[in-house]
Each structure stands twice: as C-alpha cells, then as structure tokens.
Amino acid sequence: MSLGGRGNRGEGGRASPFETGLDRSAANHVALTPVSFLARAADAFADRIAVIDGDRRLTYRDLDARCRRLASALRGRGVGRLDTVAILAGNVPAMIEAHFAVPMLGAVLNPLNTRLDAATLAASLAHGEARALIVDAPFRALAEEALEALPGPILVIAVDDPGGGHAYEDLLAEGDPDFAGPGPDDEWQSLCLLYTSGTTGDPKGAVYSHRGAYLQALGNALAFGLSADSVYLWTLPMFHCSGWSYPWAVVAAGGTQVCLRKVEPAAIYRAIAEQGVTHLCGAPIVLSMIVDAPDAVRVPFPQRVRCATGGAAPPSTVIAAMEALGFAVTHLYGSTESYGPATICVPGPDWDALAPAERHGRMARQG
C-alpha cells in the first residue's frame, strides 16, 4: 500500500517500508481548512476577546457559537455544499462570522465589493449563482437595486436592519450553537469566490480553496508576527481578497479583531489608543490618512503598531512620518488571485545602519 498514491517500490524494485501500510485514513489525515482555527481557539481561548465592535465584545466561545448557529440556520434554509453565499457588508462582526460559518457548511463565501455599482454587483451575483445574500444596513439600497436585475429571487439576510429581509440575529437564533458542520470533503474544495475590481477589464472570479486559505492565513500570522496578544484593527476592507486572509489568520493566533465601520483618522487613532491595537493593514492612502491627520484627532499611544501596506509603493517620506508616529511599516504585494499578499519586503540585517532616506527607500520595495 502506498501513501498519497506514490509507488511502493524502492530502488531495485524492492518494497519500501516507508510506503507500506500508510494509506490515507482518518488516523493520519485531515483536510486543511481555516475553519479548524476557530474550533481550536474556542477550545484554547474560550474566554478571550475575539471581536470588538464599538462597545460590543465577543469571546471566542461567543464567536464559535454564533458561527455554528449561522451555518446551521443557512442549512435549514436550504443552503448546502458548494452553494454560494454572497455578503455585502463593511468591516462588521457578521463579515468575520461569515468567513467561518459558510465554509463550515461546505458552501462558498462570496464577499462583494461595496464600492461597485448595482449592475456590476448583479453580474457577480448571477455569475456566482448566489443562493443567499447577507446585506449590511448601509448597503441595503444598493443591494435592492442589484437584486432587481437578477432572474429570480434569492434568500436575503439583513444585518442591523429588520426591514430588509430575514433579520440576521433572528436567523442566528434559529441555529444550533453546537452544530458540527460537514466542512470540506477535500482540502482543495472551494471556500471563497472573490471578484477582481475590474482594473484590467470586466471583473474576474478567483476561487480560493480551503487548503490555500489555511496556508495563506498561517503565512500571514508568521510574516506579520501575530500572537494571542495581538490586536488587529480592520482598516483594510474585508471584501478585498477576504481581508488578505486576516479573518482567519488572527483567529489562528488567538488574537483580537477590532471592527472599524468607517475608516477615518479619528476612529483609527481612537481605536489604537483605547483598544491597544498592535497590527493593521491598508493601502498607502490609509497611511497618508494617518500621517496627515490633524493634531486634534491624534491620540497618543505607547505601543509600537505594525502596519502592512500593499499596492503602490508608499513614499519614503510617508514611511519616515509613520515611524515617527509609532508605526513599523512593512511593504508587500499581491493580488486577488494570490489570496492577497504574495511578496513581502523583509528588512536586511544591515538596514538599521543606513541613512534614514536610504533605509526608507529600501523599505518601499515590494519584496
């Protein structure tokens, strides 16, 4: 018998003891999936704060139960394996929950870009064959316009808006907090459907697998130094490459996610100071927003905050200004098709000895 389908003969045709009796089984193999991060965190860090949303706090025990309720309730409404569940929402707890609940069910999550017009969203919903749509209240009108263009009705679940369809919290109340979802049949099974923003033509759909998301999340946790003491601020849209896989990465580390419904300087500084934020991600425009914030909204904070930025290279002057404010900037690059970050600028051992201008110029590299 062989492992993983390889031949079981060594040199000279003899049977190899290292490939005998090692067929894949439940005893030696489990499909890689980021859903497993939540089960582990709920067991190891049950009472630790997992999510902060304004005055609201969710422990890992709470988050696990809510995700299981959502998965159970969706199944009760007819959503099954490889069905598409779209979500049009900002950086709210429901978006984090959907990243675990939908794949827990074996279904496919489709986070939609809230900045696109109704016609483009309708095309994505139709192309992805969405069976359900979770809608955050600020985007209800946009969703309604997109839904009108679809050939038939789909299940609509409204977050923070009881008048917009099935209410999200009511749906969770129907679910089972102990639901053991089927998960993926195989780690290569589809987990997420992400559409590009159309910069080079019509939006294109990129499909993430359970295996790919699992590995990307762990890679992010290692590269960005996430731990159980990390507090991650959501300045990056979660619809963008599934938040660069950080909804899963932070949970894998047992850290805390701080939701930010509106990305603006005052809210960023306040969250960093009040919640002890240690990590955040964003486009260079977010860095410029932080640097250019008026003195009136700048709240002092004692901790060093790690900031990852991608896309266009941040000017060396912005990197210098961020460092002066207490941020450590890392430049990286990726794409929707690569689950977000694919390359990272790792500082060289001699960079600290360089003149600031030269060091900041090197830090602006993408890898």
* Count of domains forming the chain: 2
3-state class of 310 per DSSP? Answer: strand
Question: Do residues 196 and 301 both lie within one domain?
Answer: no
Q: Tokens in use for 169?
A: 């919290």
Question: Do residues 281 and 320 both lie within one domain?
Answer: yes
Residue 87 falls inside a structural domain: yes
Do the Cβ atoms of 264 and 285 come closer than 8 Å? no
Question: Do residues 72 and 202 both lie within one domain?
Answer: yes
End residue of a domain, out of 187, 209, 231: 209
In the structure, what pLDDT confidence band is assigned to residue 364 with cuts at 50, 70 and 90? Answer: confident
Question: Do residues 78 and 157 both lie within one domain?
Answer: yes
Query: What pTM does this model have?
Result: 0.92
End residue of a domain, out of 150, 177, 209: 209
From CA 33, how far away is CA 147, in angstroms rounded? 31
Q: Which residues contact 166 (CB under 8 A, 6 or more apart)?
A: 77, 155, 156, 157, 158
What CATH number is given to the structural domain containing 87? 3.40.50.980
**Beta-sheet strands, E only, within 169-238:** 190-195, 205-209, 231-233
Question: Do residues 189 and 234 both lie within one domain?
Answer: no
Read off the pLDDT of each residue in 205-229 and give the average, rounded to a whole number: 97
Question: Do residues 255 and 307 both lie within one domain?
Answer: yes
End residue of a domain, out of 176, 209, 242: 209
At 57, which amino acid appears? R
Checking if the pLDDT of 8 tops 60, the result is no
Do the Cβ atoms of 331 and 283 come closer than 8 Å? no
**Beta-sheet strands, E only, within the chain:** 49-53, 56-59, 84-88, 108-111, 130-136, 155-159, 166-167, 190-195, 205-209, 231-233, 256-258, 279-282, 305-310, 327-335, 340-344
Question: Do residues 283 and 346 both lie within one domain?
Answer: yes
pLDDT tens digits along 259-311: 999 999 999 999 999 999 999 999 999 999 999 999 999 999 999 999 999 87
Residue 18 falls inside a structural domain: no
Tell me which residue range forms the domain holding 99: 60-209
Question: Do residues 165 and 239 both lie within one domain?
Answer: no
Question: Do residues 190 and 251 both lie within one domain?
Answer: no
